[in-house]
């Protein structure tokens, strides 16, 4: 394995982004030159299993494609990679824009990568098709991670639906694990439903918060707190330390109002300064404790099994929906029905009934 950094494709922008493809990057190029054609699914899977991150990036790009031949190839690669996956811990990280997610990921990521872990950083950003990639894709602040030979960073796929974007991220997790990454971070912005999607693919779910002016508990989406396995109050530095400590007490009190988690885990509130690398070791130790405990009591495996079942249904839903909307007859009838609704000639329910009946 060479440690020479190379580049991967940013699917949204069609430009090269710097990423760390710390492996035998020549192998795929050689395969291509030898055969004069693109590597097969078998060749790509073999290269991924051997730790080739160029092959990994290519396979992820295939999972993100909508072309039937790419989907077929991606599915074959996933099937071949699956027996080599699952050997990692998956950590979901969420928080509103500006809370310090990328700074925190850089800090925690560097800490664990320096402990000889191989880290893949993925993202779910359903807004990326609109905003052209608001997370990870344009993260210049993650420079030290990008240049770390133990780290692979892939921005969120673009997509029209959260389900579609989330599925691609989930497939990327499998591919990254098969490629030897033993720690996966999945970042998402704390707005909308994307936290639920990340929660459904993470072993440990971390919520980043900021200390406010004493009214921290207002405006918090109750649902997100319920999902969190730990809350980290970031930017606990400088003049903000006192506020952060106060917020920690308030969150701790608030957490006691919730039902304990099914595995008996009580979420903890920790302070951090991502920018000063403070509190990072404690957070990692907490995550390690959680993983150890949940592996001992088997809740780790139960959770993954539940998540797999959830993803079966999600995938079916997604498939049915996309088949429906991509159907040519539906497309034209949908236009007519929308017009009819606008003109008060039909009800939304009758229109939906009609559309569903013509497929």
Binding residues (CB under 6 A) for ligand GDP: these are 95, 97-103, 141, 234-235, 237, 273-275
CA atoms within 13 A on the CB side of 26: 4
Q: Smaller CB distance to ligand GDP: residue 124 or 274?
A: 274
For the bound state, the minimum distance from the C-beta of residue 123 to ligand GDP, rounded and expressed in Å, comes to 10
For the chain, count helices (H), then strands (E).
Answer: 15, 9
Q: Nearest residue by C-beta to ligand GDP?
A: 100
> Could you tell me the smallest distance in angstroms from the CB atom of residue 84 to ligand GDP?
31
Residue 9 phi, psi (nearest 5): -80, 135
Residue with smaller CB distance to ligand GDP, 125 or 229: 125
Q: Which is nearer to ligand GDP, 97 or 223 (CB)?
A: 97
CA 6 to chain centre: 22
User: 70 vs 141, which CB is nearer to ligand GDP?
Assistant: 141
Q: Which of 283, 208, 272 is nearest to 237 (CA)?
A: 272
Between 11 and 190, name the residue whose CB sits nearer to ligand GDP: 190
83/98 with CB nearer ligand GDP: 98
Q: Decide if 171 contacts 74 (C-beta within 8 A).
A: yes
Shortest CB 357 distance to ligand GDP, Å: 46
In the complex, least distance from residue 284 CB atom to ligand GDP, rounded to whole angstroms: 16
User: How far is 135 from 106, CA to CA, in rounded Å?
Assistant: 13
**SS3 call for 18:** strand
Minimum gap (Å) between residue 187 Cβ and ligand GDP: 8
Query: How many CA atoms lie less than 13 Å away from 29 in the CB half-sphere?
Result: 6
- Minimal distance, residue 141 CB to ligand GDP, in Å: 6
Residue showing tokens 């098969």: 178
Report residue 228 as tokens.
Answer: 């969190």
How far is CA 220 from each of CA 162, 197, 246, rounded to the nearest angstrom?
Answer: 22, 18, 16
Question: In 200-298, which ranges are continuous DSSP H helix?
Answer: 222-227, 241-255, 280-296
| Least gap, CB of 188 to ligand GDP (angstroms) | 10
**Given the complex with ligand GDP, which of 56 and 93 has the nearer CB atom?**
93
Structure token digits, residue 341: 């609704």
Return the half-sphere exposure (C-beta side, CA atoms, 13 A cut-off) of residue 339: 6
């Amino acid at each position: 394995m060479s440690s020479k950094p190379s580049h991967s494709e940013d699917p949204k922008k069609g430009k090269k982004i710097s990423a760390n493809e710390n492996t035998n990057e020549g192998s795929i190029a050689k395969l291509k030159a030898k055969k004069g054609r693109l590597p097969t699914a078998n060749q790509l899977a073999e290269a991924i299993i051997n730790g080739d991150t160029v092959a990994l990036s290519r396979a992820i790009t295939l999972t993100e494609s909508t072309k039937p031949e790419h989907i077929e190839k991606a599915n074959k690669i996933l099937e071949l990679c699956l027996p080599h996956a699952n050997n990692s811990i998956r950590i979901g990280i969420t928080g509103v824009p500006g809370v310090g997610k990328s700074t925190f990921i850089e800090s925690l990521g560097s800490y664990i990568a320096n402990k000889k872990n191989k880290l893949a950083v993925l993202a779910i950003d359903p807004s990326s098709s609109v905003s052209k990639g608001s997370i990870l894709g344009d993260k210049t602040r993650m420079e030290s991670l990008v240049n770390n030979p133990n780290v692979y960073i892939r921005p969120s796929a673009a997509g029209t639906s959260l389900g579609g974007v989330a599925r691609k991220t989930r497939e990327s997790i499998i591919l990254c694990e098969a490629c030897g990454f033993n720690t996966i971070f999945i970042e998402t912005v704390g707005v909308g439903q994307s936290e639920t999607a990340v929660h459904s693919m993470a072993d440990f779910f971390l919520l980043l918060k900021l200390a406010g002016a004493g009214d921290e508990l207002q405006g918090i989406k109750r649902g997100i707190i319920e999902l969190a396995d730990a809350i980290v109050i970031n930017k606990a530095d400088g003049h903000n330390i006192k506020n952060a400590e106060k917020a920690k007490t308030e969150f701790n009190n608030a957490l006691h109002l919730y039902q304990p988690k099914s595995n008996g885990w009580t979420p903890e509130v920790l302070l951090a300064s991502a920018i000063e690398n403070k509190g990072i070791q404690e957070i990692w130790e907490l995550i390690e404790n959680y993983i150890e405990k949940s592996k001992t009591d088997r809740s780790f495996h139960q959770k993954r099994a539940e998540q797999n079942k959830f993803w079966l249904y999600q995938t079916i839903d997604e498939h049915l929906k996309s088949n429906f909307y991509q159907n040519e007859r539906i497309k034209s009838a949908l236009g007519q029905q929308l017009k009819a609704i606008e003109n008060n000639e039909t009800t939304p329910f009758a229109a939906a009934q009609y559309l569903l009946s013509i497929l």
